[in-house]
Structure 1
Amino acid sequence: MNLNYEEFKGKIKDDIKDYMDEKYKDCGVVIRKVNKTNREVDGLNFYDIPGLKNATPTIYVNNLYEEYERTGKYEEVIRIAAETMERGIKSFNDEIKAELLDTSRLKDNVFFTLINAEQNKELLKTVPHREFEDLAIVYRWNLGNDSLGTYTNLVNNDLAEKEGLTENDLYNAASKNTKELFPVSIKNMNEVIGEMIFGESGIDEEMQKEFSEVMQETPDENCMYVITNESKLFGAASMLYEEPIHKLAEQVGGDLYILPSSVHEVIAVPADFGSPEELAEMVYEVNMEQVDINDRLSNQVYYYDRDLRTLRLATYTINKSLDDVDLGARENTERGGR
């Protein structure tokens, strides 16, 4: 059996319940186009799930097909899909408190994140948002945590309308909630590297102290700083909070360039670290070679002016597409196809 993607998608939709507990036999199964950050994918969902309201785990068919292409083992892939769906349903039932799934409490649990505006034009048609330079602020609904991580859902226009919330309502609530749910974290890159090393190696306290002293000898004006949040989840949005950024600028004694490392963190460097164009080229290369498409934020660099206390774009490079597609060529192709 050698299935193409469309054949695989239809077969897995028809077969998945055969590999699951009998109690799910009457559930409905649907595959919908899902606008994930930076790309469109096919999401498989169950509905009419016994005992579960307002939420359903999503399995991405694209990822399953990649595994099928890699192994050629359909039975193995569909068993994994079935186990993942059952585990997700059980996790929702066991770990997510029922009151958090109550959409009337959305305003209490909404927080904001940053995504690339150009790359997500289609997604932005479906969700409340506001622009910030070449980015867009979007809103997510925090459902809670379990041993596997944090559960969140993107707030779409239908949900906001159902709860009677305008984009401004969401922004005001999220501005307060985000810094409480995900407190801003700014650390010297040397400190971050040290934590990574010692967290894995278990080096004794004396050696840790010696390492830290050596790292701290680097002057502030020559350092790189990681800006994220304590959860390291959607932490790039931390750069929207001006007060911690200003405090860092005061510490290094000047203006800053902000480099978008991913949707989860950004890197701050002193303004004399290099030209913005050179820094943007570095950001672009790292994005294309090391950052998953789902996590890319921007290929541009931002400038924080310590005196004006403003954050704005420092570059307008041609490398704007996060999937490494030439935007000019794509636009010409689209025009030619009309």
Structure 2
Amino acid sequence: MMDYEMFKDVVREKLMSLMPDELAGYSLRADRTGKVNETLDAFHLVPPDCLPDKLYPTVYLNHVYEEYKKSGDLQGTLELTAFYMAGACREAERKNSRINLQGAPESIVMSLVNTQQNREMLGYMPHREFEDLSIIYRYVIDTGNPVESVPVTVEMAERIGMGEEELFHAAVENTRRFFPPTTEPLKDVIVEMFMDGGFSEEAAREMGNAIQTPIYCISNKMSINGAVSMLYGDVIHGLAERLGSDLYILPLSVHEVMAVPTEGVEPKELAELVEKNNMSRIRLSERLSNQVYRYDSKQQTLLLATDTPNKRLDGNGTTHDRTDGKKQSR
């Protein structure tokens, strides 16, 4: 079985020969592409008149190589990849026909990613840092199920004439309109976290039943990129007032966070549960942070409550300095 570098060269050499005739004249463009929480080797299928604001099919060689290792069938892997790319090309054409950059201000929304884990991706995306996280922006094509959207790059932002400040203010309004925030009581999640931490189901449920502290999930009605809802002051302050307490915020994923009153719990112990949840239950692309945040209801501030050394989300235990939450990138 060939190694990864050789496999990448073979794909580059042979993939286009397996494409349908309708894609004659297209070419493969290789680069390193930042995805949430990881950077991957990518081949993009682009036409001769490649334009910067268009979508083009992309295949991630790291993922294709994993499939090749499972099957051991090089030709089958190449043919399946070509089939996927051809279909993705037709889908990209459909999406491109629906992108209207003139109406972009009404379609910009925001989500949260981990700053340190996504330094490379953030290098070409307008963003705004908040503690150890960053707000990024997406252009929504369709709010159906599934939601279709594309990330806003620096290049796209320039083409639609919006700076980071304008993107932020548009996104705050649009995100609430497209994806209304929600706060719901949550109990079973903590039981699953205890089970993933090594407890038996019976013991985990006993501990879950013994927890008298109310637990709430903050997300949105679509349960997609809902962790950003924790930044809405009225949402988190309303929950704190309802519970009569400051709150610890536990990032369960990019899609939701969990809020618990601060009395009787230690943030460091909560951070340990968050890390176990990330590493055992959450896909890398959906992990948000290994830290815990505290909402001070008197000061109406949301800040990091922990500074544990395990800041990376991919299992590489490197440490980084905390951000101050005030930096912006344009």
Q: If the TM-score is normalised by the length of the shorter chain, which range does it land in?
A: 0.7 to 0.9
Is 1:326 the counterpart of 2:317 in the alignment?
yes
Quote the Cα distance in structure 1 between the aligned partners of 2:214 and 2:78: 48
Deviations 1:97-137, CA, capped at 9 Å, x for gaps: 72x42333322211111111112222222211111011111
Q: Name the SS for the 1:264 alignment partner.
A: coil
Q: Name the SS for the 2:166 alignment partner.
A: helix
Moved beyond 4 Å, runs of 4+: 49-53, 190-193, 218-221
| One-letter amino acid of the counterpart of residue 314, structure 2 | D
Alignment of 1:1-338 (within 5 A): 2-48=1-47, 54-94=54-94, 96=95, 98=97, 100-144=98-142, 149-190=146-187, 222-272=213-263, 274-328=265-319
Deviations 1:141-177, CA, capped at 9 Å, x for gaps: 1122566x22222211122122221110100111111
Maintained 8 Å contact 2:312/2:319: no
Quote the Cα distance in structure 2 between the aligned partners of 1:141 and 1:292: 23
Higher relative contact order (CA 8 A, sep 6+): 2
Quote the Cα distance in structure 2 between the aligned partners of 1:307 and 1:221: 24
Are the structure 2 counterparts of residues 304 and 162 from structure 1 closer, same or farther at C-alpha, using a change threshold of 3 Å?
Answer: same
Q: Name the SS for the 1:120 alignment partner.
A: helix
**1:259: Cα distance to partner?**
0.3
Quote the Cα distance in structure 2 between the aligned partners of 1:28 and 1:238: 41
* Equivalent residue, structure 2, for 1:198: none
Q: Name the SS for the 1:272 alignment partner.
A: coil
| Aligned residue-pair number | 301
For structure 1, list consecutive stretches of 5 or more residues without a partner in the other structure.
194-217, 330-338
Deviations 1:175-222, CA, capped at 9 Å, x for gaps: 1111111111221124999xxxxxxxxxxxxxxxxxxxxxxxx89962
Maintained 8 Å contact 2:54/2:96: no
Quote the Cα distance in structure 2 between the aligned partners of 1:180 and 1:222: 31
* Equivalent residue, structure 1, for 2:197: none
Work out the percentage of aligned pairs sharing the same amino acid: 36
Are the structure 2 counterparts of residues 123 and 256 from structure 1 closer, same or farther at C-alpha, using a change threshold of 3 Å?
Answer: same
For structure 2, list consecutive stretches of 5 or more residues without a partner in the other structure.
191-208, 321-330
Quote the Cα distance in structure 1 between the aligned partners of 2:96 and 2:255: 26
Maintained 8 Å contact 1:221/1:253: no
Are the structure 2 counterparts of residues 237 and 14 from structure 1 closer, same or farther at C-alpha, using a change threshold of 3 Å?
Answer: same
Quote the Cα distance in structure 2 between the aligned partners of 1:181 and 1:145: 7
Q: Name the SS for the 1:119 alignment partner.
A: helix
Deviations 1:238-257, CA, capped at 9 Å, x for gaps: 11112121222222221111
Maintained 8 Å contact 1:13/1:30: no
Quote the Cα distance in structure 2 between the aligned partners of 1:260 and 1:312: 13
Are the structure 2 counterparts of residues 276 and 192 from structure 1 closer, same or farther at C-alpha, using a change threshold of 3 Å?
Answer: closer
Quote the Cα distance in structure 2 between the aligned partners of 1:11 and 1:115: 34
**1:79: Cα distance to partner?**
2.6
Which region of structure 1 is more displaced relative to structure 2, 121-130 or 15-24?
15-24
Q: Name the SS for the 1:222 alignment partner.
A: coil
| One-letter amino acid of the counterpart of residue 130, structure 1 | R
RMSD: 2.6
| One-letter amino acid of the counterpart of residue 161, structure 1 | E
- Normalized per residue, the structure richer in helix is 1
Maintained 8 Å contact 2:55/2:96: no
* Equivalent residue, structure 1, for 2:206: none
Quote the Cα distance in structure 2 between the aligned partners of 1:72 and 1:169: 50
Quote the Cα distance in structure 2 between the aligned partners of 1:142 and 1:112: 10
Q: Name the SS for the 2:147 alignment partner.
A: strand
Quote the Cα distance in structure 2 between the aligned partners of 1:304 and 1:170: 25
Maintained 8 Å contact 1:20/1:86: yes
Q: Name the SS for the 2:252 alignment partner.
A: strand
